[in-house]
A and B are shown apart, each in its own frame.
Chain A
Amino acid sequence: MQKKSLKDAMFLAPKTTALPKSVINIEETERAAEKIHAEIPALRTPEPVAEITKRVTLDIPLSLHAAIKMRTFQTGSTIKDYLLTLAARDLGV
């Protein structure tokens, strides 16, 4: 290993010249990462396994049901997805 000279550690070298800018090709980077992970079985992202579900029947007051229905209509969601999202967010899961 090369010895460090004293001046290497004495003062922080100030910026004197601009560093060359990086050239980033988003598509190429995404494609290359995808290729690496598609070709090597150990690196492939495992297919998500559907979790076993439990059916719950809810009695919702009519006014609340109407309000939820309005909201899901506006967001293009469903009552089921809306309630599940709220619960997951609240529980942090």
Chain B
Amino acid sequence: MIISVTSLKGGVGKSTIAQNLAVCFAHAGYKTCIVDADTNQSSVRWSGLRDENQPGVLVSGLPDGKELAKNVKLLNETYEIILIDGTPSLSPTASKILLLADFVLIPVLPSALDLWATQQFLERYQEACEQKEQQIPAYFLLNQHDERTTLSKEAEEALHNFETVGLKTLKSTIKNRVAYKRAVIDGAGVFEFTDPKAKEEMVALANEIQGILKG
């Protein structure tokens, strides 16, 4: 099962979410790996810091996206869940990341810039669906969400408008927490960390995605 964590905008938390989901899926018992297709290769660096006593998450770095399909196909023979940590660009690699996905996860921050990028993303997504001749299941994930702020509520409403074109919004949301930044330093996920609230929201997200994948 291939989960592409992608967005046309940088800094939305793609790598953090890919790493944390990978940790959750590995703990749940799935053979999990990450394909790091982002040029900054932060997931590759994260894997180097990971404690060997924790469930293993292989991270394969493909910063230029060359032979992405071929390598993902090879990994698909061994791994049950492949998370592709995407690149925030309009490159052919970004299109391949969409075309390969069984499930597209699009992190969005509650900001106007993110929503504008989402509009652009929609065009790429529709082209990919057209070429693949099937709807690719795609879900928004509100990151750094704070339900008390008007901006977050407005972002939520704006994203719901995309449902008519097949892009749904997950009911799980991620808040802005220090635990995410701390966990990265240890090559860990918040599931293995001390902040129970961060762990709780990541578990909810992993369970929600598992539920959708299992149909």
Contact = CB atoms under 8 A, between A and B. Distances in A.
- Tell me whether A and B are bound partners: yes
B95 A17 contact: no
A49 B127 CA distance: 29
Given A13-B210, A24-B69, A24-B73, A37 B95 contact: yes
Q: 8 closest A-B pairs (Cβ-Cβ)?
A: A15-B29, A32-B131, A9-B204, A29-B69, A24-B73, A33-B95, A19-B1, A9-B200
Interface stretch (B9-17, B43-51, B96-104): B96-104
A36 B76 CA distance: 25
B201 A9 contact: yes
B19 interface: no
A36 B128 contact: yes
A10 B90 CA distance: 39
Interface string B139-163: 0000000000000000010000000
Contacts, number: 99
Interface residues of B, number: 44
A34 to B, nearest CB: 7
B1 A22 contact: yes
- Dominant secondary structure of chain A at its interface with chain B: loop
A11 B69 contact: no
Interface in B102-136: 102, 124, 127-128, 131-132
A19 B127 contact: no
B7 interface: no
A81 interface: no
A7 to B, nearest CB: 9
A19 B214 contact: yes
Contacts of B99: 29, 32-33
6 contacts: A8-B204, A9-B200, A9-B207, A24-B2, A24-B76, A30-B69
A56 interface: no
Contacts of A86: none
B5 to A, nearest CB: 15
